[in-house]
Amino acid sequence: MKDSSEAYCLGIESTADDFGVGIVTLNGKILANASSDYVPEEGGIHPREAARHHAEVADTVLQEALTKAGIKPRDLTLIAFSQGPGLGPCLRTGATVARALAAYLNLPLVGVNHSIAHIEIGKLTTGAADPVTLYVSGGNTIVSAFDSGRYRVFGETLDIALGNCLDVFAREAGLKHKKGMPLGAALEKLAANGKQLIPMPYVVKGMDLSLSGLLTAATTLLRKGECKLEDLCYSLQEHAFSMVTEVTERALAHTEKREVLLTGGVAANKRLQSMLSTIAEEHGARFHVVPREFATDNGAMIAWTGVLAYKHGIVTPVEESFVKLRWRLDKVDVPWVK
């Protein structure tokens, strides 16, 4: 086998609106992280439209990543792809590209769990070793920590994901998703000018939480037109972020881990970062947040997690490479974590 610094894994991410291709060396150097995101003309993500976007941009994004890394397809050692969880048509498009590349180049294929990849890229880029992780994105809201061979779920949303909650409200409020300015970021900007905290539903049940009642309440208040939009954005953020922070804090107290990691697209939010940093400090834990480039869905995280699995002898035969739309992270053995 080649030296780890000269052996490369190409990872493909395509669970939802982003099509990403990352290239990392087997010893964890990120050489490229190219992506193209599908921006719907209006409304939320339409899975088939997003998949069509992914198929259209696949060759360009692949080429961009290879050029950035300064390598040729023949230099690759393995191909990783996000096998789930995610939207069926989007996942299938990425998996098809991955299978084709692996077959053409005669390389091993590794199917990666997307949620685990968010944790692993957070660990790689921040140096966190064994954190309680809050993973918050457009499709997921999970508090997780490693125990006995797997990442365990300590708490999660019972209905919609945090990013989705913010996005739906932002769209109702007429905000537009632009390149480089996701809806959650537009909402964060308005929230920074909010002054009045408007009471809204706060639902934590055991270690899980529910955001749909909060979204309905915020949307109803918006439609009534009696509150300032800035105050509504501020109050929505304060309630939702307090819920995820409360659950993360309880997981931290229970596990007695020494680190907190914030990852996923919503990790870019400064207010959420500040809340988590506060609870980490109160428990004598170190707070880590994944860099923005690797917060949102990306190919580098898939490539890196593919490397970790591959180094522990895990490969995915083509006949087992079917996509898994609801693949929970606590169903996956992670022999690379001790």
Which pair of tokens denotes residue 52? Answer: 């069509």
DSSP E strands, 30-137: 30-37, 76-84, 109-113, 132-136
Q: Which is nearer to ligand AMP, 184 or 306 (CB)?
A: 184
265 near ligand AMP (CB under 6 A):
yes
Q: Which helix (H) or strand (E) holds 24?
A: strand 18-25
Question: What is the size of the binding site for Mg ion (CB under 5 A)?
Answer: 4
Chain centre to alpha carbon of residue 306: 16
Q: Which is nearer to ligand AMP, 76 or 165 (CB)?
A: 165
238 near ligand AMP (CB under 6 A):
no
| Residues from 291 through 310 that contact ligand AMP (CB under 6 A) | 296-297
By three-state DSSP, how is residue 319 classified? helix
22 near ligand AMP (CB under 6 A):
no
Closest CA to 257 of 245, 248, 266, 246: 248
167 near Mg ion (CB under 5 A):
no
CA–CA distance from 193 to each of 106, 187, 220, 243, 268 (Å)? 55, 10, 21, 21, 18
Binding mask 145-164 for ligand AMP (x = CB under 6 A): ------------------x-
Q: Which of the stretches 85-93, 150-158, 182-190, 225-233 binds ligand AMP when contact is defined by CB under 6 A?
A: 182-190
| Residues from 269 through 288 that contact ligand AMP (CB under 6 A) | 269
Q: Which is nearer to ligand AMP, 7 or 160 (CB)?
A: 160
**Amino acid (one-letter) located at 304:** W
User: Measured between alpha carbons, how far is 17 from 10 in angstroms, rounded to an integer?
Assistant: 19
| Residues from 118 through 137 that contact ligand AMP (CB under 6 A) | 137
Q: Which is nearer to ligand AMP, 32 or 301 (CB)?
A: 301
Length of the chain in residues, anyone?
A: 338
Instruction: Give the strand pairing for 18-25 and 30-37.
Output: antiparallel
Q: Which helix (H) or strand (E) holds 58?
A: helix 47-69
**Amino acid (one-letter) located at 68:** K
167 near ligand AMP (CB under 6 A):
yes
Q: Which is nearer to ligand AMP, 77 or 269 (CB)?
A: 269
User: Measured between alpha carbons, how far is 271 from 292 in angstroms, rounded to an integer?
Assistant: 15
**Shortest spacing between CB 303 and Mg ion, in angstroms:** 17
166 near ligand AMP (CB under 6 A):
yes
266 near ligand AMP (CB under 6 A):
yes
List phi, psi (to 5°) of 264.
95, 165
208 near Mg ion (CB under 5 A):
no
Q: Which is nearer to Mg ion, 39 or 229 (CB)?
A: 39
Selected binder of ligand AMP within 119, 183, 190, 217 (CB under 6 A): 183
**Shortest spacing between CB 274 and ligand AMP, in angstroms:** 12
138 near ligand AMP (CB under 6 A):
yes
218 near ligand AMP (CB under 6 A):
no
Closest CA to 296 of 332, 330, 251, 262: 262
DSSP state of 193: T
13 near Mg ion (CB under 5 A):
no
Contact 191, 240 (CB under 8 A): no
User: Measured between alpha carbons, how far is 305 from 123 in angstroms, rounded to an integer?
Assistant: 11
Selected binder of Mg ion within 13, 18, 188, 249 (CB under 5 A): 18
Binding mask 262-301 for Mg ion (x = CB under 5 A): -----------------------------------x----
User: Measured between alpha carbons, how far is 195 from 273 in angstroms, rounded to an integer?
Assistant: 19
By three-state DSSP, how is residue 100 classified? helix
Q: Give residues in contact with Mg ion (CB under 5 A).
A: 16-18, 297
Q: Give residues in contact with ligand AMP (CB under 6 A).
A: 16, 18, 137-139, 163, 166-167, 182-185, 188, 264-266, 268-269, 296-297
